[in-house]
Chain A
Amino acid sequence: MSITSATASELLAKMNSGEISSEEITSACLDEISRRDGSINAFLSVQQEAALEKAREVDRKRKAGKPLGKLAGLPVALKDNICSEGVTTTCASKMLEHFVPPYDAHIVEQLKAADAVLIGKTNLDEFAMGSSTENSAFKTTTNPWNTAYAAGGSSGGSAAAVSAGFAPLALGSDTGGSIRQPASFCGVVGLKPTYGRVSRYGLVAFASSLDQIGPFARDVTDAALILGTIAGKDRRDTTSLDAAVPEYTSTLEQPLKNLKVGYIELLHEEGLHAEVKEATLRALDVYKSLGAEMVPITLPHAKYCVATYYIIAPSEASSNLARYDGVHYGYRAPHFENMIDMYAASRGEAFGDEVKRRIMLGTYALSSGYYDAYYLKALKVRRLIRNDFEQAFQSVDIIATPVTPTPAFTIGELVDDPLAMYLADIFTTSANLSGIPGISIPAGMSKNNLPIGLQLLAPPLEEERLLRAARMFERETDWHLKRPV
């Protein structure tokens, strides 16, 4: 296996045995980026010099036998809505085109402490609002399996970077599926942890009660490895949870005994693609063959998830994005009549269509006369959605579902139909609304040679169970070994 297609664990083993250096790995990734990112468009910026410098530092430390962090010498890509001190963080928006954060996000501190090599900042839908990166103000990321297709979104750049061989690991954020959906489209592992498992300090806020940072990796082991380095309480994010972080990698190879897998009856009428349905049913058969018990469950309020999500997320976004006022940072319009006009002109000129749409929807839902009918109603339905999961997890350990109704769609296919794009989030938003962890793992290929993912869900803070269950499937299958040609 070549350097750029190897897993992080394989690369770590090779560095530890002296077979390869971090500088060689980092150079190989940088070469691959300069050779192919012109057509993939995964990166908004590449920190070539800083990455090579860090790689050499790790190599020196390793040679001298000094203590090293858990990710020592491994290139990691960061979604460009995660603040990194001194490195432009644009959120793929003209609003923040020249924004250079004066501090590191909590997870960036953690990655630096783990001796990771931060290689570059990846493309996304503007402010993480979208499912295809087509809402990026700068470029559209293509699917490494076929560049006519979308990489997914909003963390499409991070998913494509791991899939294309640009970095063995990447970080993204997931507000309604923005890690799991692109992971599924690009054929990599994507994990959204429990709400609060990872500090959001330094993640540019979209919808604060739903946002969560998580990893992309080439297999489950690597996802466990990086989750262990970024999870944990951080006093700067008061919603981060004060719960012990298990050694996820140490239990990963132990299959779960008497596993009960919950599944929902899948209907074609819900716009579910036949090949996605087949892949999901095949995955259930894999668990059955391992002795797991299949338990049919119902989530009576699942069909209300997208509607609930598209009230709550835009409402929180309209409030969070009020900070872009052309005063403290970000774009200021060159011409305006007065203070209020300066705000409106700056925001009108620098925000893209989808961001404006969501600010408008959210402002509408929160405005006088509509608050009870929309926002308050959605918060109540949100509780019903979470109650469904609590009920289901009384009788099952994990739940298996598709990640998306279809394999990757083509670039341009849904971009003019916002509602159709929103409906593609039907299987993913529920985990954000109810705060539970979810993972997307490779579980099939379509006739068009595009990856299909399987989503597993677990109760809050049960990432260990989730990863072990995912690893059980991975050991029996070879979907995770496939790489785009």
Chain B
Amino acid sequence: MSVSLSQDDVLKVASLSRLKLSEAEVNSLGQQMGSVLKYIAMLDELNTDAIEPMAHAIEISNVFREDELQTSLPREKALSNAPQTDGNYFLVPAIL
């Protein structure tokens, strides 16, 4: 397990995270993530080969409900917090 993050590592994770970072942030995050990862490495002490992973503490599965028609959020309410809208759609910068 790696215990420190290079600038390239940080930039790769930032890109996956869709986060634009300043140079100062890249440096400090590299150090801080490194120290947290170093601490986290203590889990390596444990042999967990035979242990099932547990995603939820209270394990429930297949929560069904009746398939009933319900009113959904009206369009103007759904759009009410949009940074940019034409009243019908969310507007985004041109992709193509």
Q: Report which A residues bind B (CB closer than 8 A).
A: 98-100, 102-103, 194-196, 209, 235, 238-239, 241, 301, 303-304, 306-308, 310-311, 318, 322, 325-332, 336, 338-345, 347-349, 351, 353, 356-357, 359-361, 363-364, 367, 373-374, 376-384, 386, 418-419, 422, 432-436, 460
Q: Is there an interface contact between B13 and A342, defined as CB atoms closer than 8 Å?
A: no
**Binary CB contact string for chain B from 57 to 84 against chain A (1 if under 8 A, 0 otherwise):** 1101001010000000100011011111
With A327-B83, A328-B90, A330-B83 as contacts: A238 and B63 at CB distance below 8 Å:
yes
Please measure, in the bound complex, the distance between the C-alpha atom of A380 and the C-alpha atom of B46, giving whole angstroms: 10
28 sampled A-B residue pairs with Cβ under 8 A:
A99-B81, A102-B77, A195-B58, A209-B55, A209-B57, A239-B58, A304-B46, A306-B39, A307-B42, A328-B90, A330-B83, A339-B95, A344-B15, A344-B20, A347-B17, A353-B25, A360-B14, A361-B37, A363-B17, A367-B13, A378-B43, A382-B57, A383-B52, A384-B48, A418-B36, A419-B35, A419-B39, A460-B58
In the complex, what residues of B have CB within 8 A of residue A360's CB? 10, 13-14, 17, 19, 29, 33
Question: Shortest CB–CB separation between residue A360 and chain B, in angstroms?
Answer: 5
Q: Which of B36, B37, B63, B94 counts the most chain A CB atoms within 10 A?
A: B36
Binding site secondary structure of chain B? loop
Query: Which of B5, B40, B65, B73 touches A103 (beta carbons < 8 Å)?
Result: B73
Q: Is B57 touching A336 in the complex (CB atoms < 8 A)?
A: no
Which residues of B approach A to under 8 Å, CB–CB? 1, 5, 9-10, 13-21, 25, 29, 32-33, 35-37, 39-40, 42-43, 46, 48, 51-58, 60, 63, 65, 73, 77-78, 80-84, 90, 92-95
CB distance from A310 to the nearest CB of B (A): 6
Contacts of B18 in A (CB 8 A): 322, 325, 340, 343-344, 347
Contacts of B14 in A (CB 8 A): 344, 360
Could you say which of B37, B54, B78 contacts A379, with CB atoms under 8 Å apart?
B54
Chain A residues, Cβ within 8 Å of B20:
341, 344-345, 347-349
Distance to closest chain B CB from A24 (angstroms): 36
Which 5 residue pairs of A and B lie closest in terms of their CB atoms, listed nearest first? A435-B57, A348-B20, A379-B53, A329-B81, A332-B83
- Contact pick for A196, options B16, B58, B82, CB 8 Å: B58
Question: CB-nearest residue of chain A relative to B9?
Answer: A364
**What is the chain A residue whose CB lies nearest that of B84?**
A332
With A239-B56, A381-B43 as contacts: A356 and B21 at CB distance below 8 Å:
yes
A381 to B83: give the CA distance in the assembly, Å. 42
Contact among A209, A325, A418 with B32 in the assembled complex (CB-CB below 8 Å): A418
C-alpha gap A311/B92 in the complex (Å): 33
